[in-house]
Structure 1
């Protein structure tokens, strides 16, 4: 356990203890914003913050997209517990970690985000399949020599990956496979622009092509960016209410509707507004 400095003397000894689980964008920002007002513990096994939105750049050759957590936490009073949360005891208000610690809390913030949908298929299929989470390994594979690479998923992540890799690895034949339209969340004009950019970079686009698994793609390397799933396994195991997508059901203050002492932020929260609808 590391602590950047002694807790602020201006905080009363009875200050509520907030435990934030997950040190991604949402979790780290929450911890830093709360630190001047209360006692905060940030639970994450990693010692670095990863710029997840830059992982496509890591795959294309950017040296690193991580930053030491201590650089953000130094002088804030936030305690970083370098361990993985394994169980939430909501009745006792406790977070249990994989190194045997039990952290009591007054308020809990679930900020474990999301991950790429697991790749299905045989072991051989999985060996040639990569995700954004394995961007460093993908970069090493691309350096082994040119061949064919299929990006599965036509959302913004898939588009970024296809264009970035086509620009930085022109020797590879890049294809983009999507069940619907490329950039479906964009306007018609935006989608047309994306198609033009992909075509100019030599990316072969196949729309309306549902790919069940890597074995359904004829390519040397498959980059799986089909969809994201919320990392809410701990929450559902503890009995926290989730919606049909697996995200934690929250009110307008991001409080769990089933356990109001628990908050959810980022991709794990089923946040929405009347004007914009579901928020991601």
Structure 2
């Protein structure tokens, strides 16, 4: 941001005629690429252009896998899956077919990719982003180097794909080229979202997002032990009359 006193009069006059071309740190930025609503109004109001940005690296920093990060992405993924494929790369658990069906995520639209090494997973992700064969790419990685992050960020900018990278919340302290970073923590009947980084004013607020499919009894902030069983994959086959599977 440039101090007003340092702007030459002639330049100040020009800038005054182009308010749309100026971004101030105190204002929410406007993405050049389109965005997709998260499906949660409270979250959309905190995101530039009111939604998940396309052609951009989005980091979801989770306290623990299975706390509701997939539930948070559910509305967006269901919209994308209507016409495009979704790639799941290195998920912590195998996707549950019945749950995906209940989420209106057709099996024909999903690609589950399990690479042998981290290098293979990163290379696969980069190639999918570059060729634009999927509407969304979700990548799970515990350790990833800054150079790899930059490559993925550049690859995301060359495509019309929505790209979500799931990392441990401890990575919050690391620098990242991602223009949007959210820290996710478990909460009773939902999830707490902290805006770590965005193109807009800094926010110290914690935003609670109610996730209707989350069982209340499984989300208690007391100890990590209370959340351990949430990570267990849902059974592939359910008995008739049993509860609907939950993909968190």
TM-score category, normalised to shorter length: under 0.3
Between Structure 1 and Structure 2, the one with more strand by share is: 1
The normalised TM-score by structure 2 is 0.27
Question: Rg bigger for which structure?
Answer: 1
Between Structure 1 and Structure 2, the one with more helix by share is: 2
The normalised TM-score by structure 1 is 0.25
